[in-house]
Amino acid sequence: MQRFSALSLLRHALGGHTGWQPQWRAPAPKQAYDALIIGGGGHGLATAYYLAKQHGLRNIAVLERGWIGGGNTGRNTTVIRSNYLFAESAALYDHAVRLWESLSQELNYNTMFSQRGVMMLAHNQHDVQVFKRHVHANRAAGVDNEWLTPQQAQAFCPPLAIGSELRYPVLGAALQRRGGVARHDTVAWGYARAADALGVDILQNCEVTAIDRDATGAVTGVQTTRGAIRAPKIGVVAAGHTSVVMAMAGVRLPLESYPLQALVSEPVKPVLPCVVMSNTIHAYVSQSDKGELVIGAGTDAYTSYTQRGALHIATHTLDAICELFPRFRRLRMLRNWGGIVDVTPDRSPILGRTPVPGLYVNCGWGTGGFKATPGSGHLFAWTMARDAPHPINAPFALDRFRDGATIDEAAAAAVAH
């Protein structure tokens, strides 16, 4: 692996940038591996990286139906935060934030992680009470979060309107200063490059068509569009398509897949210094380093795999953004798109073993999976390598739906992520 540094950039610049090598190989599939990861998004590639780096499993492969990072990893709005209400969730997402803080150094790849602060607006008394409860719960759990008055919120984010004439006035805000954004593609590319350097085969355009099992029910491998591959351990990290893949092993999951939309504006000079979210009027917005406003909309009302969404969902979000930020009204939107998110009944992920021996699942991240990418991969690798969950992801087992031990962030973390 060619390491990136200021010196290597300078050396290659002097050579006309002709000496760079591909960042990962394009190997032919082997007949057998020690473990397979189905899904080459950020979570799957991170899983492969930590399996190779921390658990010594290097004869492994990542199977990707299309190209790596082409699903939700490339379609999200890149918001990173850990201010979840429940202790289990706060521990899970803060584990990821801690890994984000050193990820660029870990991978020798600039993920452009920017802790510019995530501010969640309160528009009514209920919001105020809920967010103050969040602030107290987070601080008790060791996660930073603080309460701002409307004036403090506007001082932190000058373009924000806080006047009393607003349909939804700003009564205050909860601010997590360690929250922020990262460059989504670099997360997939950085993990792919680092995993490849440790010997992991990244197999693109390799769609799994069947999961093979022996007489005891345990997995033995998969059939793919690039041939049969044997492996005693398989981890499914397929986001919106998890139900489709798991059905190949006869496993039903508590998941429904919905389109979630996002859109970006034309690029402008720096105008928005932080991430602003409003659960009540259902909008969230940040500004990329390229200058585009990155705006997240809601999910559509019905399940779908179409990777698009209805226009009225996006326009509803833009109405809210334009009221909060009057100066954005003249901006034109450049692109909008949808990703397919797998949503659980309690809006918390499922990360662990399945009823099928050798088969593991990492799914249900719903509308907020990007922020968890490093932590998700780290914990899932642990779970696959040891056939037992890490203490942080133990509460997120599939069994919690049978046991009634759900982690009901649906009401607590609200809709936007």
Binding residues for another protein, rule: CB under 8 A, are 241, 243-244, 247, 252-257, 301-306, 310-312, 342, 345, 401-402
For residue 302 the two structure tokens come to 């019905």
Residue 39 contacts residue 372 (beta carbons within 8 Å) = no
Report how far residue 330's alpha carbon sits from residue 314's, in angstroms, rounded to the nearest whole number: 16
Residue 279 contacts residue 416 (beta carbons within 8 Å) = yes
Residue 30 contacts residue 163 (beta carbons within 8 Å) = no
DSSP H/E element including 284: strand 283-287
Closest to another protein by CB, 140 or 301:
301
Q: Which residue in the block uniquely carries the two structure tokens 């528009």?
A: 123
User: Please, what is the minimum distance in Å from the beta carbon of residue 281 to another protein?
Assistant: 18
Report how far residue 4's alpha carbon sits from residue 138's, in angstroms, rounded to the nearest whole number: 37
Closest to another protein by CB, 8 or 315:
315
Closest to another protein by CB, 99 or 343:
343
User: Please, what is the minimum distance in Å from the beta carbon of residue 31 to another protein?
Assistant: 29
Closest to another protein by CB, 205 or 315:
315
CA atoms within 13 A on the CB side of 326: 6
Closest to another protein by CB, 163 or 250:
250
User: Please, what is the minimum distance in Å from the beta carbon of residue 363 to another protein?
Assistant: 11
Closest to another protein by CB, 246 or 281:
246
User: Please, what is the minimum distance in Å from the beta carbon of residue 373 to another protein?
Assistant: 23
User: Please, what is the minimum distance in Å from the beta carbon of residue 256 to another protein?
Assistant: 5
With CA atoms as reference, report the closest residue to 46 among 361, 404, 379, 374: 374
User: Please, what is the minimum distance in Å from the beta carbon of residue 314 to another protein?
Assistant: 11
For residue 350 the two structure tokens come to 């499922």
**Rg of the chain's alpha carbons, rounded to an integer?**
21
